[in-house]
Chains A and B, each alone.
Chain A
Amino acid sequence: DSGVTQTPKHLITATGQRVTLRCSPRSGDLSVYWYQQSLDQGLQFLIQYYNGEERAKGNILERFSAQQFPDLHSELNLSSLELGDSALYFCASSVAGHGHTFGSGTRLTVV
């Protein structure tokens, strides 16, 4: 157990729908990162939050949004889903200088 908790583990939904993925960071970690991993295995950085504030944006679609709450958990909202959004979505948290700790991911399947 890495200490980073992601729910749900699996999600199957239809095109056009909206889903919310949840991440609880490791205790004490202020930064939360979201990544998308497609079948070709590469990691795409989506967005980072630090202590409730958006800090960096990567290749995140306008249909996707995220937030970090006062208790530091984060949610990634994916809307108007398309078949191509099917992927693994990972959350990671970090403390300065020590690299990322990853959750086990949410596998999203859009049908």
Chain B
Amino acid sequence: NAGVTQTPKFRVLKTGQSMTLLCAQDMNHEYMYWYRQDPGMGLRLIHYSVGEGTTAKGEVPDGYNVSRLKKQNFLLGLESAAPSQTSVYFCASSSLDEQFFGPGTRLTVL
């Protein structure tokens, strides 16, 4: 039982490049989330999903897209990376009252 896993763990991009972050969970949770965390800050919700095939915007969705084609996977895409997207990205899945977080992806955009 791996819980929530994220790939990659680290990535460096140049401005304008694109990439996809993958999140997978093996707990059969309906709800999944993508957050970003900047130094000394809390977690800000980018997008979330309440079930397979559904997605919705969070607090800071601009510059990101998501897809949830399979219940266990939630993908976060950056179409054209910008330095302002340098951050640590956490994926989470939820069993009602408790969120389970992945280990995070540290992204640097130069």
Q: Verify that A and B bind, or say they do not.
A: no
Residues of A in contact with B (beta carbons under 8 Å apart) = none
